[in-house]
Amino acid sequence: MPVQGIFGTTVELLGKTLDLRAKRQTMISSNLANVETPGYTPTDVSFESQLKSAIKGGAKESGVTNPRHIPLKGRAASLERVQGDVVEVDTRTTGPDGNGVEMETEMGRLAENQIMYNASVQLLTKKFDELKQAIRGTL
């Protein structure tokens, strides 16, 4: 749920990142659950490039034709549109039953995604702590 303009782009970006990382966690978990399903092709959510372009091109996507124009919705609207693309994971080996899930690879991706999720939560917590201190006047 976006909080448009109140906290700035950082909070909205971190919130969107958490949503997308949770979506990726579900995909990886699904891959692991289907490790013995014949013919299963593992999937992932690709969103990093979409986030980068939403941050860099937020003003361009909101209909601004001149850099001196004021964007109507700005980057928050661009971030809202980022949903990530479901892509098939390239596998090096496919089992005799056609299953492409590599348990070790998926477990590594699961751990990496969890670490990135936790880092985003810590950054978001720090941002809210700073806002709380500013409200209390204890900066």
The stretches in the chain having pLDDT less than 50 are: 1-3, 59-61
Amino acid at 78: S
Q: What is the number of alpha carbons within 13 Å of residue 81 lying toward its C-beta?
A: 16
Q: What is the pLDDT of residue 94?
A: 85
Assign 3-state DSSP to the chain and report helix, strand, coil percentages, each to 5.
Answer: 60, 5, 35
- Domain ranges in the chain? 9-90+103-136
Q: What is the pLDDT of residue 9?
A: 81
Residue positions counted in the chain: 139
* DSSP class per residue in 87-116: EEPP-S---TTS----HHHHHHHHHHHHHH
Q: Which of 42, 46, 26, 34 has the alpha carbon at shortest distance from 86? A: 46
Q: What is the pLDDT of residue 1?
A: 46
Q: What is the pLDDT of residue 79?
A: 81
Q: What is the pLDDT of residue 59?
A: 46
Q: List, for residues 88-125, the tens digit of each pLDDT value.
A: 988 878 888 989 999 999 999 999 999 999 999 999 99
Query: Do the Cβ atoms of 44 and 100 come closer than 8 Å?
Result: no
